[in-house]
């Protein structure tokens, strides 16, 4: 009897990538076909409005290893990756962006690490090409900021290009956070985790789906985009923001009481000066920290509110190539 080859599922969350998809499939096939494995390519369509879906349907008809999950509306990268994991059947799962900034040619190295015993194989970017100095600075700052405050070790410059073993995926799918910080949750599940370095390439074609400031108010309101992702990361693995503001608030109240005592003593000594003027900056400072503290607390409460409502993280509209009744 011939030994069954391990199955590796490749999950690609995408939105409007019609210019990239043909080259992406070509490079994935070239990287994976020589390996002693079976593989499936699961494309999770985050409500694309271009010709990405028709192109993929045509590719799927020619190659049964290409499968498609269509979301009912736009849900976000992490949600799409988790949807792909739900329907993937691989012994190991690799997920990466569909814009070819993460090289498919690195996947054989990830598989090699997995076959050597790793449950999670991270990829750490040693260099990021095609990105502005401002974006690089802000991204690096955000990674270090989240890592410094998190209550678990988080790798810097380690994004959404990873391999997970089946048991790591099974544990990850049991977590029910409605605004998942997937980069942190993968580290949180534990098991044997290793990392390899690579150079992240410039986008092959099309426009980035993660502009820094284009949709700032929308991203902040919905915890999306680069800034929203940073907020999710900070509040997913640390209570330090609330603790810091509690300590600051306590210290400011102590200072305020000391100043009031000093003003009372000066008044008793009948020294003439407009002591009440000192109350204004103290009140403003206290009010400012109170508002910031309320804002931080509001983020935590908002995330709790999202969880207790019990809404699903995503809704799948249809599937192609999975061979079941829900197939489009």
Residue 325: the pLDDT is: 45
| CB 13, CB 44: distance < 8 Å | yes
Residues 6 or more apart whose CB falls under 8 angstroms from that of 100 comprise 20, 23, 24, 27, 201, 203, 204
User: Is the CB of residue 116 less than 8 Å from the CB of residue 196?
Assistant: no
Q: Which two tokens stand for residue 19?
A: 């210019």
**Rounded to an integer, what distance in angstroms lies between the CA atom of residue 82 and that of residue 84?**
5
User: For residues 200 and 129, is the Cβ–Cβ distance under 8 A?
Assistant: yes
Cα end-to-end distance, the chain, whole Å: 36
pLDDT at 326 (0 to 100): 47
Residue in this structure with the two tokens 């999670």, named with its chain if needed: 120
Q: Which residue segments constitute the domains of the chain, with CATH numbers given?
A: 7-209+316-320 (3.90.550.10)
Residue 80 to residue 56: CA distance in whole angstroms: 16
| pLDDT score, position 245 | 66
Distance of CA 116 to the CA centre of its chain: 27
Half-sphere exposure of 313 (CA within 13 A, CB side): 22
116 neighbors 193 (Cβ within 8 angstroms): no
pLDDT tens for the 328 residues of the chain, in order: 557 889 999 999 999 989 999 999 999 999 999 999 999 999 999 989 999 999 999 999 999 999 999 999 988 888 899 999 999 999 999 999 888 888 899 999 999 999 999 999 988 877 666 555 665 566 666 655 555 556 666 666 677 889 999 999 999 898 877 777 787 788 888 888 888 888 776 655 555 555 555 555 555 555 555 566 666 655 665 556 666 666 666 666 667 677 667 766 766 776 665 656 566 666 766 766 776 777 677 667 766 766 676 677 888 989 988 875 444 4
Q: Residue 272, Cβ neighbours under 10 Å: how many?
A: 6
What pLDDT does residue 328 have? 44
DSSP reduced 3-state for 43: strand
Distance CA 253, CA 161 (A): 47
Burial category of 212 from C-beta neighbours within 10 Å (exposed 0-12, middle 13-18, buried 19 and up): middle
Contact 79, 313 (CB under 8 A): yes
13, β-bridge pairs: 44, 97
């Amino acid at each position: 009897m011939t030994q069954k080859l391990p199955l590796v599922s490749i999950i690609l969350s995408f939105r409007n990538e019609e210019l990239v998809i043909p080259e992406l499939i070509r490079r994935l096939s070239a990287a994976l076909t020589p390996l002693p494995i079976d593989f499936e390519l699961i494309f999770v369509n985050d409500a694309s409005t271009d010709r990405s879906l028709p192109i993929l349907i045509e590719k799927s008809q020619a190659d049964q290893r290409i499968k498609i999950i269509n979301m009912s509306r736009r849900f976000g990268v992490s949600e799409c990756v988790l949807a792909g994991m739900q329907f993937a059947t691989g012994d190991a799962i690799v997920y990466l962006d569909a814009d070819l900034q993460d090289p498919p040619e690195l996947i054989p190295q990830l598989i090699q690490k997995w076959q050597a015993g790793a449950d999670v194989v991270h990829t750490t970017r040693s260099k990021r090409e095609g990105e502005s100095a401002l974006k690089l600075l802000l991204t690096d700052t955000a990674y270090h900021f989240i890592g410094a405050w998190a209550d678990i070790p988080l790798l810097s410059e380690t994004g959404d290009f990873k391999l997970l073993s089946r048991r790591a995926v099974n544990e990850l799918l049991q977590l029910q956070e409605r605004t998942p910080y997937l980069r942190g949750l993968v580290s949180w599940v534990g098991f044997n985790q290793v990392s390899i370095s690579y150079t992240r390439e410039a986008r092959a074609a099309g426009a980035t789906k993660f502009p820094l400031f284009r949709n700032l108010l929308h991203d902040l309101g919905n915890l999306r985009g680069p800034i929203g992702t940073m907020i999710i990361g900070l509040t997913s693995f640390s209570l330090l923001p609330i603790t810091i503001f509690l300590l600051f608030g306590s210290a400011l109240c102590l200072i305020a009481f000391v100043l009031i005592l000093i003003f009372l003593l000066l008044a008793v000594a009948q020294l003439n000066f407009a002591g009440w003027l000192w109350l204004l900056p103290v009140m403003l400072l206290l009010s400012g920290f109170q508002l910031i503290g309320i804002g931080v607390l509001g983020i935590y409460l908002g995330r709790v509110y999202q969880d207790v409502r019990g809404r699903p993280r995503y809704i799948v509209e249809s599937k192609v190539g999975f061979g079941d009744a829900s197939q489009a």
